[in-house]
């Protein structure tokens, strides 16, 4: 990497002259500016980011802590984070926790050494289960702003972005009823996760509200060791639902394929709706109608909130330091041919 010093030496001027020239300072003569810029271009000079950071105490980098990069939802959020960060001129450094609280602590340590200006985090499952947020709280005590998304907790004061899981299902039940469906089943493999619970609650409440009663046989909870295909087939044959809502990104597709092999007409005899996205809906025919989570929007909003905080820190803008916002991103049922 070529430095100001080397340019200065070659041009036989001082370092600060070169620096000023490159910044079009009015203190420097036009000829000198031109001369300097020419050589800088020739030598392909780029100011050293590290030195800039040391001086300005800003890195223009944000840190992201997520449980698992292979989880499609998180990679979508990450994608949204990248887009928005790019827009604001920030780099992104990502760390994954693999759902482990220890790795999460390590991750925050890594990001506490001055290499990022702010952090976006979705907590690990273990952290949520242990209900131990001390490392997060400790982090918020420092002056690095933090934004939580998806996996959040009331115990920590910061900006948050979450999905409206409850209403995602609640509204879906409502919509299916309006389509004339009378016996709606709910299939889930993620009942131990918070989001899974919110979704199940949405289903239960909606069933009470719209059908006046709740038949718990219409909820199928498939534990990890069971075969999803077999369980769903039994469920359909036994209960003969006229609609199925899947709480995860996989059982919707499976339900369609099962139904098809049972010669059940979709969507005429059975509506199927599930979480997912365009890619996932491709795996079944007819294509699954999906509840879309706006992952990239969540990433976007997280960055916006974080940038606001960072700006108010650097430029002392209006943002109230004691007031935090929680944004609730609605879901949306889109596409497909199965509803």
Partner DNA sequence: CTGTTAGCGCGTTCAG
Partner DNA sequence: CTGAACGCGCTAACAG
145 contacts 103 by C-beta, under 8 angstroms: no
Q: What is the sign, positive or negative, of the torsion defined by CA atoms of 76, 139, 147, 276?
A: positive
* Residue span 131-160 as binding mask against a second copy, x where in contact by CB under 8 A, dash where not: -------x---xx-----------------
Residue 122 C-beta-side C-alpha neighbours within 13 Å:
28
Q: Does 47 engage in binding with DNA (CB under 7 A)?
A: yes
**Residue 177: half-sphere exposure toward Cβ, Cα within 13 Å:** 14
Residues found in the chain: 339
Residues 117 and 227: their CA atoms lie apart, in Å, by: 45
Q: What are phi and psi of 226, to 5 degrees?
A: -90, 160
Report the nearest approach of a second copy to the CB of residue 106 (Å): 9
Choose among 133, 134, 138, 157: nearest CA to 147: 157
Contact of residue 162 among DNA, a second copy, none (CB under 5-8 Å per partner type): none
Task: Write out the binding residues for a second copy, residues 27-56 only, by CB under 8 A.
Answer: 44, 46-51, 53-54
**φ, ψ for residue 160 (rounded to 5)?**
-140, 150
Q: Does 34 bind DNA (CB under 7 A)?
A: no
Q: Does 95 bind a second copy (CB under 8 A)?
A: yes
Rounded to whole angstroms, the Cα distance separating 127 from 98 reads: 11
- Number of residues engaging a second copy in binding (CB under 8 A): 49
**Rounded CA gap, 262 and 133, in Å?**
48
Q: Is 265 helix (H, G, I), strand (E, B) or coil?
A: coil
115 binds DNA (CB under 7 A): no
Binding pattern to a second copy, positions 231-250, x when CB under 8 A? -------------------x
CA-to-CA distance for 124 and 74, rounded, in angstroms? Answer: 12
32 binds, among a second copy, DNA, none (CB under 5 to 8 A by kind): DNA
Nearer to a second copy, 250 or 291 (CB): 250
- Pick 96 or 167: Cβ nearer a second copy: 96
By CB under 7 A, tell whether 3 contacts DNA: yes
Place of tokens 């609609």: 243
Is 93 an interacting residue with respect to a second copy (CB under 8 A)?
yes
Helix H or strand E segment including 122:
none
Segment near DNA (CB under 7 A), from 48-56, 154-162, 201-209, 214-222? Answer: 48-56
Q: Which does 330 bind (CB under 5 to 8 A by kind): a second copy, DNA, none?
A: none
Separation of alpha carbons 147 and 82, rounded Å: 15
- Interface with DNA (CB under 7 A), residue from 51, 102, 226, 317: 51
Residues at the interface with DNA (CB under 7 A): 1, 3-5, 12-17, 19-20, 22-23, 25, 27-32, 45, 47-48, 51-52, 54-55, 57
Q: Which residues of the shown chain bind a second copy in the complex (CB under 8 A)?
A: 1, 44, 46-51, 53-54, 59, 61, 69-70, 72, 75-76, 78-79, 82, 91-96, 109-110, 112-115, 138, 142-143, 228-229, 250, 253-254, 257-258, 260-261, 279, 282-285
């Amino acid at each position: 990497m070529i430095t100001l010093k080397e340019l200065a030496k070659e041009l036989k001027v001082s370092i600060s002259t070169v620096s000023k020239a490159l910044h079009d300072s009015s203190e420097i003569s036009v000829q000198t500016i031109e001369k300097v810029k020419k050589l800088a271009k020739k030598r392909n000079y780029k100011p050293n980011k590290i030195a800039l950071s040391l001086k300005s105490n800003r890195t223009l980098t944000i840190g992201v802590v997520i449980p698992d990069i292979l989880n499609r939802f998180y990679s979508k959020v990450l994608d949204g984070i990248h887009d928005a960060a790019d827009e604001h001129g920030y780099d992104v450094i990502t760390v994954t926790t693999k759902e482990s609280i220890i790795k999460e602590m390590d991750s925050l340590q890594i990001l506490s050494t001055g290499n990022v200006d702010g952090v976006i985090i979705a907590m690990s499952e273990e952290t949520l289960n242990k209900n131990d947020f001390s490392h997060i709280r400790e982090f918020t005590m420092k002056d690095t702003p933090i934004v939580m998304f998806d996996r959040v907790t009331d115990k920590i004061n910061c900006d948050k972005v979450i999905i409206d899981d409850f209403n995602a299902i609640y509204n879906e039940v409502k919509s299916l009823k309006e389509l004339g469906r009378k016996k709606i089943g709910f299939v889930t493999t993620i009942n131990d996760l918070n989001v899974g619970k919110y979704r199940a609650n949405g289903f239960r409440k909606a069933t009470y509200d719209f059908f006046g009663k709740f038949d718990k046989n219409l909820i199928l909870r498939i534990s990890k060791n069971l075969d999803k295909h077999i369980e769903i087939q039994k469920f359909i044959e036994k209960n003969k639902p006229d609609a199925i809502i899947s709480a995860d990104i996989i059982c919707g597709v499976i339900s369609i394929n099962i139904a098809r092999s049972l010669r059940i007409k979709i969507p005429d005899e059975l509506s199927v709706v599930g979480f997912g996205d365009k890619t996932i809906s491709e795996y079944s025919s007819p294509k699954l109608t999906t509840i879309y989570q706006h992952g990239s929007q969540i990433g976007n909003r997280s960055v916006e909130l974080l940038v606001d905080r960072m700006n108010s820190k650097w430029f002392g803008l209006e943002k109230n330091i004691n007031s935090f916002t929680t944004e609730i991103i609605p879901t949306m049922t889109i596409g497909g041919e199965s509803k």
